[in-house]
């Protein structure tokens, strides 16, 4: 999961452009063999009535098949690296939170290790 807090002077239009570009990574990111590896990418705008967003405006959850593919995304994927470079002057702060889907359920059932088929939700920027 990644959440963006934008620079205060950034226009709504530019914020929406950043969100659209981020969402486009689902199709733009490819492994060296040309195959897509992002299983899903979803996101939205802050809307909680509790008001505890700490200035964060957009959040995204990206799902990968494996930690290796997450690491490729972070360190080598040209589309992702270009996106990161393009938002440096727009995003004041990004909050990142990686997690493995189903971790708490596995612990509750006494199964400590994840199966290869379990999805991995990991950071994006």
Residue 121 contacts residue 98 (beta carbons within 8 Å): yes
Q: How far apart are CA 86 and CA 28, in angstroms?
A: 15
User: What's the pLDDT tens digit per position in 58-88?
Assistant: 999 999 988 999 999 999 999 999 999 999 9
Residue 117 contacts residue 98 (beta carbons within 8 Å): no
Cα Rg for the chain, rounded, in angstroms? Answer: 16
SS3 88: coil
User: What's the pLDDT tens digit per position in 95-124?
Assistant: 999 888 877 787 788 865 655 555 555 544
Tell me, what DSSP letter sits at residue 89? T
């Amino acid at each position: 999961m990644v959440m963006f807090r934008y620079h205060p002077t950034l226009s709504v239009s530019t914020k929406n452009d950043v969100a659209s570009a981020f969402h486009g990574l689902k199709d733009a990111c490819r492994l060296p063999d040309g195959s897509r590896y992002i299983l899903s990418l979803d996101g939205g705008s802050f809307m909680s009535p509790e008001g505890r967003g700490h200035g964060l405006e957009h959040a995204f959850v990206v799902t990968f098949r494996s930690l290796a593919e997450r690491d490729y995304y972070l360190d080598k994927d040209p589309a992702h690296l270009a996106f990161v470079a393009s938002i440096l002057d727009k995003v004041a702060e990004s909050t990142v939170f990686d997690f493995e889907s189903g971790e708490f359920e596995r612990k509750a059932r006494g199964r400590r290790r994840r199966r290869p088929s379990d999805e991995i939700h990991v950071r994006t920027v």
